[in-house]
Structure 1
Amino acid sequence: MTLSNTKLAWNVFSHNKSAMTGSLILLIILLMSLVGPWFAPHDPAQQFGDKILTPPLWYENGDFVSPLGTDDLGRDMLSRLLHGARLSLKLTLMVVFAAAFIGILLGAAAAFINSGLRALLMRFMDLLLSLPSLLLAIAIVAIIGPGLPNAVYAVVIVLIPQFVKVTQSAISEELGKDYVMAAKLDGARHLRLLLHHVWPNIVPAIIVQLTFSFSTALLDIAALGFLGLGAQPPMAEWGTMLSEARAFIQFAPWTMTLPGLAIFLTVLSINLVGDGLRDAFDPRLNR
C-alpha cells in the first residue's frame, strides 16, 4: 500500500463521523483499561459487609464512596469495571494476535502450496466457519475443560479460520496480477515475492479482519465467562460479572447493567472503527 493510498484512506476514514465517534469511544475505553486500575478506589476483590448492594450515586440512597454502587458481596463496581476493562481487553488482544499470527502463516502457505492440499485445507476452514463461533468455542471448552486458559485457547482456534480465508484469498488475488508475474520473471522466489511484493498490498485486508476479530473475541470471551466456562469468580472479568449478577437484576439492576454496557460500548466502538476502515480501504474509493 503506497503512501498516497494511505493518505487517501485516512482522508476517507477521518470524514466518516461514525468511525471517528467509534475511535473516540474506543480510545477512552483503552485509556481506562491502561490507567483506570491505578485510580480505582478499592481492590476489585475487597468486600465491604456493610455496603452490600449499595446503589449507584444517582439513586436516592447512593453515596460518593462507591459512585457506581456495589455488588452482592459489597465489592465496589467501579473498581471491578476498571480492572475488568484491563483483563478483558488484554485477553482480547492476546487472542486476536495469536490467531492472526497462526492464521496468516497458514493462509500464506495455502496460497503457494499445490491445489490439492490447498483445497483440503480450505474446505476444513469452511467447515469451521460454517459453525457459529461461540458454539464452536463452547464445544472446544467442553472437550478440554473449563477455565480461563482453555477459554483463551478455544477462542484462538475459533478465530484462526477467518484469518486463513482472508489471507489466502487476498494473496491469491494478488498472485494473478501483472506486477507479480513480472517479479516471477525477474526470478523472485516465494518468500521474497510474499514479503516484498504481495504483503504490502494485502495489509489493508488484514487490518480490517483484525479489527472485526477484536469484537468477536471480546464477545466470545465474555460469553464463556458468563456461562461459567471462562474466567472464574472472583476475577473481575465483564462476562463473569454479568453471570454473578443474574440473580439480582430485578432489585439491583446496576450490577448487571454496568458490565453489560461496558461490553456493548466496546463492541460497538470496535465495529464502527472496523466499518470505517473497510470503507477507507475499499479499492473502489482509492481512485
Structure 2
Amino acid sequence: MSAAASDSILGRNLRRFRRDRASLAWGVVFALFLLAAIFAPLLAPHDPAAGSLLRRLQPPGWMEDGEWAYPLGCDALGRDILSRLLHGARVSISIGVVVALVASCFGTTLGLLAGLAGGVVDAVISRIVDVLFAFPLLIFAIGLMGMMGPGLLNIILALVLKDWVITCRLVRGQTLDVRDKEYVEAAVAVGASRWHVMTREILPNILSPVIVVATIRMATIIMTEASLSFLGIGVQPPTPAWGSMIADGRGFMMDAWWVSTFPGLAIFLLVLSVNLTSQGLRDAFDPRLAR
C-alpha cells in the first residue's frame, strides 16, 4: 500500500473522529490539561514549593490584599494547591506520554520481529510476553520501585518494562495477519529486504491500532504513577505530584477536604478525558465501524 493511500486512510479516520462530538469534547479537555502542564510556570500564581505556616490549611478562596491569592486553598505546609496542581500536571502527563511512547516503540519493534521472523525469535519474545503478562502492572511497578528506589526516571523505567508487552502482543498478531497480504507477498517477490517489508509495507498498515492502544494505556499509566506517588515510592518531594498531594491531605479530610479533593478531581478528569478520547479514536480507527 502506498504512502499516499496510508495518508488517505489516516485522514479519513481523523475525519470520523471529528464527527464524534463527545469524544472530541473530551479531547479538548485533555488538550487543556496538556496546555496547563506546558505553561504551568506561567500560569501558577505562586512557587509550588514555597510554604508558610501562616497559611496552613487556609480554605479555598482565601484572599490577600483584596485579591484571590489562593483560590484552591493551601495545604498543611501552607503551599498553594493551585500552583501544585499545575506543576503536578506536568509530572503526570509527561510520565504518561513518555511511557506510552517508549513502550509503544519498543513493543512495536519486538512485535514486528516476532511476527516476521517466527521460529525461535517468535518463541522467545512470546514467552517473555507471557511471563510479564502474569504480573499486574501496579504490583510489578511496586516491586521494581522497591529494588531501584523512588524517582522520576525509575518510575518511567519500571512502567516501560511492563507496559510494552501490550503493544508487542497486538503488533505480533497484526503482523501475522498482514504478512500474508498480496502487497507484502509482491514486495517479497521483487526482492525487497526484510527491513523494507517491515517498515514500508507492514508498519503503515498496523499503525492505527497501535496509536489507539497507546492512547488507552496513557490513562492506566497516569493512574499507576499516582498510586506509586500516593504510596511514597513515586515522585519525591519537593516535586509536586497529584498522588502525593492526596496522601498529604488524607489526614485532614474532615477539617481540610480541599487538600485531597482537588488533586483527586484532577486525576479523575484527566483519566476520564484520556479514556473517552481514546474510545473515540478506537471507534474512528476501527474499519468495522466505518461509516
TM-score, normalised to structure 1, is 0.93
Distance 2:33 2:62 in 1: 22
Tell me the alpha carbon deviations over residues 30-60 of structure 1, each in whole angstroms, 9 at most, x when there is no partner: 111111321211100101221110111299x
The 8 Å contact of residues 242 and 263 in structure 2, kept in 1 or not, is answered as yes
- Aligned match of 1:136 in 132, 136, 140? 140
| Contact 2:245–2:263 (Cα < 8 Å) also in 1 | yes
Tell me which residue corresponds to 1:237.
241
Are 1:246 and 2:250 an aligned pair?
yes
Q: Letter of the aligned partner of 2:20 in structure 1?
A: N
SS in 1 for 2:260: helix
Shift of 1:87: 2.1
Whether the 8 Å contact between 1:5 and 1:286 is mirrored in structure 2 is no
Kindly provide the CA deviation profile for residues 202-241 of structure 1, in whole angstroms up to 9, marking residues without a partner as x.
1101111110121121111111111111111222111111
Question: CA 1:79/1:169 → structure 2, altered by over 3 Å: closer, same or farther?
Answer: same
Q: Are the counterparts in 1 of residues 48 and 80 from structure 2 also a CA contact under 8 Å?
A: yes
1:153-192 per-residue CA deviation (whole Å, 9 max, x = no partner) reads: 1111121111211221222211021211121112112100
Alpha-carbon contact 1:44-1:79 (below 8 Å) kept: yes
Distance across 2 between alignment mates of 1:18 and 1:119: 42
Q: Hey, what does 1:205 align to over in structure 2? A: 209
Question: Which residue in 2 is equivalent to 1:121?
Answer: 125
Query: What does the per-residue CA deviation read over 1:46-98, in whole Å, with 9 as the maximum and x for residues that have no partner?
Result: 01221110111299xx9711000000000000110111111221222222222
Q: What is the Cα-based RMSD across aligned positions, in Å?
A: 1.9
For 1:168, which of 172, 176, 184 is the aligned residue?
172
Q: Secondary structure at the match of 1:65?
A: strand
Query: CA distance change for structure 1 residues 190 and 227 in 2, over 3 Å: closer, same or farther?
Result: same
Instruction: After superposing the two structures, state which structure 1 stretch, 9-18 or 19-28, moved more.
Output: 9-18
> Equivalents in 2 of 1:18, 1:242: separation in Å?
29
- Structure 2 residue 182 is matched with structure 1 residue 178: yes
Q: Which amino acid aligns with 1:283?
A: P
SS at match of 1:136: helix
Identical pairs, percent: 38
Q: Does 1:189 align with 2:193?
A: yes
Contact 1:225 1:239 in 2 (8 A): yes
Whichever residue aligns with residue 209 of structure 2, its letter is A
Query: Structure 1 residues 166, 37: closer, same or farther in 2, change over 3 A?
Result: same
Deviates more, 1:18-27 or 1:6-15: 6-15
Please tell me whether residue 54 in structure 1 is matched to residue 58 in structure 2: yes
**Contact 1:8–1:286 (CA under 8 A) maintained in structure 2:** no
Q: CA deviation at 1:7?
A: 3.3
Q: Distance in 2 between matches of 1:282 and 1:181?
A: 24
Residue segments in structure 2 that go unaligned for 5+ positions in a row:
none
Question: What is the TM-score when the length of structure 2 is the normalising length?
Answer: 0.92
Distance 2:204 2:290 in 1: 15
Q: What corresponds to 1:94 in structure 2? A: 98
* Secondary structure, counterpart of 1:72 in structure 2: coil
Please state if 1:216 is matched with 2:245.
no
- Mapped contact 1:170–1:202 kept (Cα < 8 A): yes
Which residue is equivalent to 1:157? 161
4+ long deviations beyond 6 Å: none
Secondary structure of the equivalent of 1:28? Answer: helix
1:33 is aligned, of 33, 37, 48, to 37
Deviation at 1:127, TM superposition (A): 2.6
1:113 deviation in Å?
Answer: 2.2
Q: Which amino acid aligns with 1:216?
A: T
Q: Is residue 68 from structure 1 mapped to residue 62 from structure 2 by the alignment?
A: no
Q: Which residue of 2 aligns with 1:145?
A: 149
Shift of residue 151 of structure 1? 2.0
The offset of 1:275, in angstroms, is 0.6
Matched residue type, 1:241: M
